[in-house]
Amino acid sequence: MLYLKYNLVMKKRISILGSTGSIGTQALEVIEKLSDKFEIISLSAGGNTDLLNKQIEKFHPKSVCVSSHPENVQGCKNVLFGSEGLEEICSNQENDIILVAVSGKIGLKPTITAIKNGIDIALANKETLVMAGDIVMKLAKDNNVNIVPVDSEHCAIHQCIKDISQVEKLIITASGGPFLNKTIEDMKSATVEQALAHPRWNMGRKITVDSATLMNKGLEIIEAHHLFNMPYDKIDVVVHPQSVVHSAIEYVDGSVIAQIGLPSMHIPIQYAICYPERYEGIKSKSFSFSEIARLDFQAPDFEKFPFLNLAYSAGRTGGTATVALNGADEEAVFAFLNGEIKLYDIYEIAEKIYSSHNVIKNPTIDEIFETDKEIREKTKELIHRSYQCLSI
Ligand code: NDP
Ligand code: MG
């Protein structure tokens, strides 16, 4: 059986890519609680060496990787650097599992390397599947590697599914973000602070902006398609502001199974890294139906959140269409966070870049990276030519 590849008596050996981020730090909180179950092999950060140094002191990784200022790292003899460092971590077969919790396109290459080395993946980085879902899922199957989703909706679906062939559709819930009850005009004049004020989840800046435009839900539709091999017309989105129902599936016989829990990322992170085991771990309190006053559901407003349609369109087109949408969105989000463009410009820019892209149907990994690079250059150029300054 697949799961017997772990020696359950021994500690599970884990590395975390992005240990200083929102998911990474929460994963370390889980691991601290389950210190008899896990041994940390490697940690990786971007530039936050202060936090990384504290993590080194507490968790004693054998190696760490940073993308800047390696000279500031203290307490670990083996300091790796940049994308080559991430590759080295993911080639180390001492790892039983790697949590990929970097943000953006940086996650893709190391994930592929880990899979090729037969290492299981706890996947937070949705961009990996959005950019190269076909390739990544096939590689995982060929190498007998488990990819267990951390993203709360996909983690919920993973927990609900017994037999995928009997599933009629997936129902992904969306909190609706900070602009759920605001008008399009409110969104057009929104500040960075307003876009970052997510009502339910405390996350990294990029995903928080994507949650405000619902592009995050768009990426999640594509992520779900790849993870569960489900056609796009069988993936629905429903807005559920309380974020208690994390997602659901409907079986062919009409029975619906939903996964419910308090809105805390600790739970899906713990599920993914412990899979197939379950432990009490970091659970803070028991779920109480009577304490939840009400649960609301409504159809998403596709006019106010046009990214949803764009994501369905890119997903159905396939090939490099999703690479184009993802790259254009990410660059536009960075420009928004830098105060260069307005919130609604993100959609307009991504739509322009996406619709002018010549899709490669079955791209290789190299073609995916070339497309990504080209799209980002075009997006930056478009922002500088037509948006920047006009909007500020
Ligand atoms: P954060 O921005 O909080 O963290 C990103 C992590 O990646 C940090 O450790 C950061 O390091 C590191 N990093 C950034 N740039 C580089 C680089 N060039 N090289 C190496 N490491 C780098 O993001 P989140 O934790 O919010 O999200 C991580 C991923 O998980 C994303 O793909 C997101 O979509 C997904 N996700 C997140 C959820 C959440 O609740 N946060 C929920 C579901 C999915 P440093 O800080 O040191 O610069
Ligand atoms: Mg999610």
Burial class (CB in 10 A: 0-12, 13-18, 19+), 7: exposed
154 within 8 A of 121, measured Cβ to Cβ: no
Structure confidence at residue 18 (pLDDT): 98
Ligand closest to the CA atom of residue 198: 1
CB 201 within 8 A of CB 265: yes
241 and 322 belong to one structural domain: no
Residues in contact with ligand 1 by the CB-under-6-Å rule are 18-24, 44-48, 67, 101-103, 106, 124-127, 151, 201, 203-204, 207, 265
Instruction: State which of 314, 340, 356 marks the end of a domain.
Output: 314
Structure tokens given for 71: 């000279």
Q: Which ligand is nearest to the CA of 89?
A: 1
Domain termination residue (choose one: 107, 132, 150): 150
Question: What's the pTM value of the predicted model, to 2 decimals?
Answer: 0.96
Q: Could you tell me the CA-to-CA distances from 312 to 38, 39, 202, 224 in Å, in that order?
A: 39, 40, 26, 12
Instruction: Quote the Cα angle for 168-172-175, to 5°.
Output: 160
Residue 155 alpha carbon to ligand 2 centre in Å: 9
Q: Residue 198: what pLDDT?
A: 85
Return the pLDDT at 389.
52
Looking up tokens 């629905």 gives 236
Q: Which candidate, 265, 148, 266, places its Cα nearest to that of 198?
A: 265
Determine the distance separating the centroid of ligand 1 and the alpha carbon of 18, expressed in angstroms.
Answer: 6
Q: Count of CB atoms within 10 A of residue 39's CB?
A: 19
Same domain, 164 and 180: yes
* CA 389–ligand 2 middle distance (angstroms): 33
DSSP symbols for 221-271: HHHHHHHHT--GGGEEEEE-TT--EEEEEEETTS-EEEEE--S-THHHHHH
Does 378 lie in the same domain as 328? Answer: yes
Nearest ligand 1 atom to alpha carbon 82: 19
What is the pLDDT at residue 216? Answer: 97
Identity of residue 187: M
Give the per-residue pLDDT at 22.
Answer: 96
Of the candidates 252, 248, 259, 257, the one whose C-alpha atom is nearest the C-alpha of residue 170 is: 248
Does residue 134 share a domain with residue 81?
Answer: yes
Residue type, 386: S
From the number of C-beta atoms within 10 Å of its C-beta (0-12, 13-18, 19+), residue 29 rates as middle
Probe residue for ligand 1, chosen from 17, 207, 222, 267 as the CB with the greatest number of ligand atoms within 8 Å: 207
Q: What is the pLDDT of residue 154?
A: 98
Answer yes or no: do 24 and 136 share one domain: yes
pLDDT of the chain, 392 residues: tens digit per residue: 444 555 556 899 999 999 999 999 999 999 999 999 999 999 999 999 999 999 999 999 999 999 999 999 999 999 999 999 999 999 999 999 999 999 999 999 999 999 999 999 999 999 999 999 999 999 999 999 999 999 999 999 999 999 999 999 999 999 999 999 999 999 998 999 999 998 888 899 999 999 999 999 999 999 999 999 999 999 999 999 999 999 999 999 999 999 999 999 999 999 999 999 999 998 878 999 999 889 999 999 999 999 999 999 999 999 999 999 999 999 999 999 999 999 999 999 999 999 999 999 999 999 999 999 999 999 999 999 988 654 44
What domain range includes position 128?
Answer: 12-150
For ligand 1, atom 22: residue with the closest CA: 46
Q: Cα of 198 to ligand 2 centre, how many Å?
A: 13
> Do 75 and 45 belong together in one domain?
yes
Q: How many domains does the structure of the chain reveal?
A: 3
pLDDT given for residue 293 in this prediction = 83
**Hey, which of 16, 20, 23, 72 would you mutate to test ligand 1's pocket, going by the most ligand atoms within 8 Å of its Cβ?**
23
**∠ CA 374-341-351, rounded to 5°:** 50
The residue among 117, 150, 183 that closes a domain is 150
**Considering only CA atoms, which of 122, 159, 126, 125 is closest in space to residue 245?**
159
CA of 267 to the centre of ligand 2 (A): 13
**Claim to verify: residue 193 and residue 303 sit in the same structural domain:** yes
User: So what's the pLDDT on residue 375?
Assistant: 98
Task: Based on the fold, state whether residues 176 and 305 are members of the same structural domain.
Answer: yes
Identify whether 2 is part of a domain. no
Using alpha carbons, select from 197, 296, 297 the residue that is nearest to residue 237. 297
Instruction: State the ligand closest to the CA atom of 124.
Output: 1
- Asked if residues 149 and 140 have their Cβ atoms less than 8 Å apart, the reply is no
- Is there a contact between 63 and 41 (Cβ–Cβ < 8 Å)? yes
d(CA 74, ligand 2 centre) in Å = 34
